[in-house]
Amino acid sequence: MYLDPALTLRAAFMGSPDFAVSSLHAVAAVCDLRAVVCQPDRPAGRGRKLRPPAVKVAAEPLGVPIIQPTKMKDGTLRDALAQHDLDLIVVTAFGRILPKDILDLPRLGCINVHASLLPRWRGAAPIQRAVLAGDPTTGVAIMRMEEGLDTGPVYRMVETPIEAHETSGMLFERLAVLGGEVLRETLETFESIGEPTVQDDAQATHAAMLSKAEGAVDWSQPAQRVVDHVRGMDPWPCAFSARGDLVMKLYGASLSQEETGVPGTVLGVDERGLHVACGTGAICLAQLQPAGKKRMSAQAYAAGRPFEDGERLGT
236: burial class by Cβ within 10 Å (0-12, 13-18, 19+)?
A: exposed
Mean pLDDT of 51-69: 97
Mean pLDDT of 212-227: 98
Shared-domain flag, residues 110 and 201:
yes
Give me the domain span that covers residue 159.
10-207
Shared-domain flag, residues 277 and 171:
no
In angstroms, rounded to a whole number, what is the distance separating the alpha carbons of residues 281 and 286? 17
- CA–centroid distance for 18 within its chain: 10
The number of domains in the chain is 2
Using the CB atoms, write b or e for 13-25: b if 16+ within 10 Å.
bbbbbbbbbbbbb
pLDDT for res 43: 87
Has residue 310 been placed in a domain?
Answer: no
Residues 91, 175 contacting (CB under 8 angstroms): no
**138 φ, ψ (degrees, to nearest 5):** -150, -160
Has residue 312 been placed in a domain?
Answer: no
Residues 128, 168 contacting (CB under 8 angstroms): yes
Has residue 313 been placed in a domain?
Answer: no
For the chain, the average pLDDT equals 95
Which of 207, 242, 269 represents a domain boundary (last residue)?
A: 207
pTM of the predicted model, to two decimals?
0.94
Residue 297 β-bridge partners: 287
Tell me the per-residue pLDDT of 76-110, one tens digit each, with 9 for 90 and over.
Answer: 999 999 999 999 999 999 989 999 999 999 999 99
Mean pLDDT of 170-191: 97
- CA–centroid distance for 123 within its chain: 11
Distances (CA, A) of 230 to 132, 218, 251, 252, 269: 8, 11, 6, 7, 18
| pLDDT at 214 exceeding the cut of 80 | yes
